[in-house]
């Protein structure tokens, strides 16, 4: 008689990408500026345009045109979006860097038995390419983008399906992000959230009611323990 031991899924930490794991503003705004200059508009300083990031490339282009007080017809936006995506794909990791402490935080979670995953509204191809360029793609059991499933953040199914693909346990999961989209996704999925305040958000991240806010990745493991210990009790 063969006795099958039930497989217990390990805990999982799921990360947003832009503004959470990596500061991608330089390359995103750099690509926006290529589009703006092509249209005869002045480029934007990265620091002035950081808060325009976070809602996707189409919204970034629209916000760039709004800043220049230039009308943008829907058909022309479609054309510029295609150009943006092509240029960004080839210039995805010129100025992009991981935020301080990311590698050490991933190490500590892995050493504690956590599965790691990425749940981003970047298209999957760009997410894979960027994490490859940053040298950390092998750390993640799943890397799920805007087009991986039929759903994307803030739809909670994007997060739930990412956890399933990675082989994690949703009852022992935490979402780490920088924006309203990430926090609302986690809340809708019934999963605790940890927010970082150095990403891309148009309001202070504390006002969005994440479970915990950390100002450096060296505080991530302690925050994860705080949130998941009650679930294990």
| Residues identified as active-site | 16
Output Rg (C-alpha) for the chain, integer angstroms: 18
The whole-angstrom separation of Cα 201 and Cα 198 is 9
Pick from 88, 98, 97, 37: which is nearest to 58 by CA? 88
Structure tokens at 81: 């979006």
* CA dist list (Å): 22 to 19, 68, 137, 206: 6, 27, 13, 20
Q: Hey, which bits of 10-101 come out as E strands?
A: 12-15, 22-23, 97-98
Counting beta carbons within 10 angstroms of the beta carbon of residue 32, is it exposed (0 to 12), middle (13 to 18) or buried (19 or more)? buried
Looking only at the bridges linking them, the beta strands covering 193-195 and 212-213 are parallel
């Amino acid at each position: 008689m063969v006795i099958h031991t039930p497989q217990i899924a390990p805990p999982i930490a799921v990360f947003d990408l832009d503004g959470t794991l990596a500061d991608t503003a330089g390359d995103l705004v750099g690509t926006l500026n290529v589009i703006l200059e092509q249209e005869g508009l002045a480029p934007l300083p990265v620091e002035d345009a950081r808060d325009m990031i976070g809602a996707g490339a189409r919204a970034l282009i629209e916000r760039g045109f709004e800043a220049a007080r230039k009308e943008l017809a829907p058909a022309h936006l479609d054309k510029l979006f295609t150009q943006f995506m092509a240029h960004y794909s080839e210039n995805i990791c010129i100025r992009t860097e991981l935020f301080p402490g990311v590698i050490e935080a991933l190490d500590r979670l892995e050493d504690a038995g956590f599965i790691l995953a990425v749940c981003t509204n970047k298209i999957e191809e760009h997410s894979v390419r960027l994490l490859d360029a940053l040298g950390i793609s092998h750390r993640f059991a799943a890397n799920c983008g805007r087009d991986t499933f039929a759903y994307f953040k803030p739809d909670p199914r994007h997060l739930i399906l990412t956890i399933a693909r990675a082989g994690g346990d949703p009852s022992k999961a935490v979402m780490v992000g920088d924006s309203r989209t990430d926090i609302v996704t986690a809340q809708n999925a019934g999963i605790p959230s940890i927010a970082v305040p150095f990403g891309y958000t148009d309001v202070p991240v504390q006002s969005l009611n994440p479970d915990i806010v950390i100002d450096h990745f060296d505080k991530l493991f302690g925050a994860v323990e705080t949130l998941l210990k009650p679930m294990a009790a």
